[in-house]
Each structure stands twice: as structure tokens, then as C-alpha cells.
Amino acid sequence: MKNTYKALEVSAPGVLRVVERQVSEPRAGQVRIRVEACGICHTDAATITAVYPGLTLPRVPGHEVVGRIEALGTGVSKWKIGQRVGVGLIAGEDGVCEPCRRGDTVNCENPVVSGVTADGGYAEVMIAEARAIASVPDELTSVEAAPLLCAGITTYNALRNAGLRGGDLVAVQGIGGLGHLGVQFARHMGFRTVAIGRGREKEKLARDLGAHVYIDSATENVAAVLQRMGGAKAILATGTSGDAMAPLVSGLSARGKLIIVGVPQDPIQLNAFPLVFGGRSIHGSLTGTAIDSEDTLAFSVLENIRPMIETVPLEKAADAYARMMQGKARFRMVLVTKEGVAQSAQPAA
């Protein structure tokens, strides 16, 4: 086997270049993965522009990673060589901080973060912490599974942990990588599902993905439309604009929740009135743990939910990233390595 591998490295802010790296052995508690596919998440922009807190360069981005284990570090007993696994954003907790000691490992104060504190999946090879990898079911191809490990888990967890009941009115704002999966999860969890996008261009796709209703925020008053429908019990805000999130509060029912998963650069400027009168609330939700990833993958198999993807060879990562940033991806760009192409040509096991 070659002792070097290809990776896409951020060498300086805004510079994503192909490099050849030396294959290294996994340390204790780690595995080495031969990457097949890696989704391009909007959060990768925080690595590529070098604004993610705690980031040091050079760094390989990518936290929607699927591949096969090819080497085990000492002490790894749960996983086997050849097994197909996935890695998400939060890729290892320290186990000793207060959130960890309370069992809230996704909010670890000193986590391993793929593509930020450790090299991620824009590469042919990735080293991962064995405690933070997820098993990938045979029903999903690697390119299908990859986006579920961040865009999927983030929207699935946010919705399933929101205290909702079947039939509730639930809206998803922003129909991109996260949003197009959020719409599918909301529909398949049994909610009356509204998609909120800018313009009419994505309306048909949003309806095909399961939205009962589509609201065009460019021409309609979103809060007024939601209130005419009785008010949303939850709105999942996936967009990258704080200005677009703030007015959503007025579209909530009494006790409704605005769940923020998008991370805009601009502030969300809130009016206290609809929060106080009606007991509405707003809170954030951060992706999830490896076992949440396995739940997301299992639910996607159960309900036949798949990301809508465009695949590109690993070497074309910079072009694919640019397409995502321009809002042109429908809906997730997924990088595929030579290994990923070879594996997808094999008959299913």
C-alpha cells in the first residue's frame, strides 16, 4: 500500500490546496479510516476562512466523513478492520469537564472537532477517535450516509429533542444542506411541515421532499402566514442570516420554540414582546454524538430518507466548496475519493 495519501489542506486563510501526506499509525484509542466520501458543510467555511475558535493551520476540513477502518490503535476493541464507519463534527470528548461529567458530551468544553482541532475528511485517509465513530448501515451508500453525519444529525436531533407531538405545526427555515433534510425529518416524524425559503425556485423541491406548505420569505410575511395556520410549535432555523431569523419568533404559537442551528455571522436582534407574551423561547442546538449519528442513520433507513446530493472528485473540493457558498448546491456537495468510486462499483455485500 502507498505510504502517502492525498488531502485538501487549508494552508492559509482562503487557500484550499491538494497536498500529499505521509500515512501515520493511529495512536491508542484511535482508528485509521480509508475515506470514501465526505460532505461539504457550510461550517467548513469557518475552517477555510480560519475563523473557527481554536483552529490552527494547516488543517484538513471535513466532518461528514464515511470510510472503512484500515488500522486500529491499541486498546480499540469495539471496531474491526474493514468496517464502514462515519465521523461527524464533534469527534471526541475529554470526559473530564463539567458537561462531560454530567453526561452532556456534545457540549464538552475541550472536544476533538473534525477539521478544526484534528484533520478531517477532505482526504483519502483520516485518523479518528474510536469512541466517536458511528457504524454505517449497509442500506446506505457512503455518499448517501455522509451528509447525514452533520446536516442530518443536526436537524434530526434538534427536532426529536424539541418536545413536539405528532401533528404539530413545524417549520424549517432555509432549504439548503441542513434544511432539505430537516424538511424530510419533520415530515417523517409526523409533523405538519412548512418549508421557508427565499423565492419560488426551491418550492417544488421542498414539496417533493415532504413539505405540506411552502412560504416564500421574499414575497410573503412569514410570521403572518404561520399565525394564520395556528402558529408554529417549533421553527428550525437553518439559514445563515441573523436578520432572517429574528422575525420568525412572531410566527410561533404560544410556548413555541425557535431552534437555532444555523450560525450566521450577524447578530439575531430580538423583540422581547412575543417572547414574554406567549412564553415563546429560543435556543440553540449543536449536532450530536456518535450514537445520535447511528440513530439518524437508522431513522433515515427506516423512513427511506436520503440527502439530495451532487458528487465531485476529492481533487475538485475547492470548486465544490465555492458552489456551496454561492448557494448553488442541490442540496449537498459530496466529495468522493478513488476508494469511494471503487467501492460504489462493487456489488452490495
Ligand X SMILES: NC(=O)c1ccc[n+]([C@@H]2O[C@H](COP(=O)([O-])OP(=O)(O)OC[C@H]3O[C@@H](n4cnc5c(N)ncnc54)[C@H](OP(=O)(O)O)[C@@H]3O)[C@@H](O)[C@H]2O)c1
Point out which span in 108-116, 118-126, 150-158, 183-191 binds ligand X (CB under 6 A).
150-158
Element (H, E) at 147: helix 142-147
Q: Would you say 240 or 343 has its CB closer to ligand X?
A: 240
The set of cell numbers assigned to 139 is 442500506
The reply to whether 136 sits near ligand X by the rule CB under 6 A is no
* Beta-bridge partners for 107: none
Contact between 15 and ligand X per CB under 6 A: no
Helix (H) or strand (E) holding 30: strand 30-39
Residues 6+ apart with CB under 8 A from 16: 8, 9, 10, 48, 61, 122, 317, 318, 321
Kindly tell me which of 39 and 274 has the beta carbon lying closer to ligand X. 39
Q: Which is nearer to ligand X, 262 or 274 (CB)?
A: 262
160 binds ligand X (CB under 6 A): no
Binding range to ligand X, per CB under 6 A, among 20-28, 64-72, 251-259, 322-330: 322-330
CB 236 within 8 A of CB 259: yes
Would strands 232-237 and 169-173 be described as parallel, antiparallel, or unpaired?
parallel
**Residue 33: closest CA among 136, 105, 111:** 136
Is 205 a binding residue for ligand X by CB under 6 A? The answer is: no
Q: At what angle do helices 153-160 and 177-188 cross, to 10 degrees?
A: 40
User: Residue 261: which of Zn ion, ligand X, none does it interact with, CB under 5 to 8 A by kind?
Assistant: ligand X
Please tell me the distance from the alpha carbon of residue 175 to that of residue 190, in angstroms, as a whole number: 19
Stretch that binds Zn ion, among 105-113, 130-138, 245-253, 273-281 (CB under 5 A): 105-113
Q: Which stretch binds ligand X (CB under 6 A): 6-14, 53-61, 172-180, 251-259?
A: 172-180
Contact (CB, 8 A) for 197 and 237: no
Among 30, 43, 105, 184, binds ligand X (CB under 6 A): 43
Closer Cβ to ligand X, 31 or 236, answer by number: 236
47 binds ligand X (CB under 6 A): no
Residue labelled with grid coordinates 476540513: 61
The answer to whether 267 contacts ligand X (rule: CB under 6 A) is no
Q: Which of 136, 145, 150, 320 binds Zn ion (CB under 5 A)?
A: 150
Cell triple for 335: 466529495
- With CB atoms as reference, the residue minimizing the distance to ligand X is 176
Interface mask toward ligand X for 230-259; x: CB under 6 A: --------xxxx--x---------------
Q: Yes or no: say if 47 and 17 are a contact pair by the CB < 8 Å rule.
A: no
Residue 341 Cβ vs ligand X, minimum distance, rounded to whole Å: 24
Picked from ligand X, Zn ion, none, the partner binding residue 280 (CB below 5 to 8 A depending on kind) is: none
Q: Which residue, 250 or 343, is less far from ligand X as judged by CB?
A: 250
User: How far is residue 336 CA from its own chain's centroid?
Assistant: 17
Helix (H) or strand (E) holding 53: none
Find the binder of ligand X among 263, 298, 312, 341 (CB under 6 A): 263
94 contributes a contact to Zn ion by CB under 5 A = yes
Residue 94: which of ligand X, Zn ion, none does it interact with, CB under 5 to 8 A by kind?
Zn ion
CA 321/CA 337 separation, integer angstroms: 16
Coil vs helix vs strand at 318: helix
Q: CB burial class (10 A; 0-12, 13-18, 19+) of residue 283?
A: exposed
Please give the residue ranges that form the binding site for ligand X (CB under 6 A). 41-43, 150-151, 154, 174-179, 197-198, 202, 238-241, 244, 261-263, 285-287, 324, 327, 329
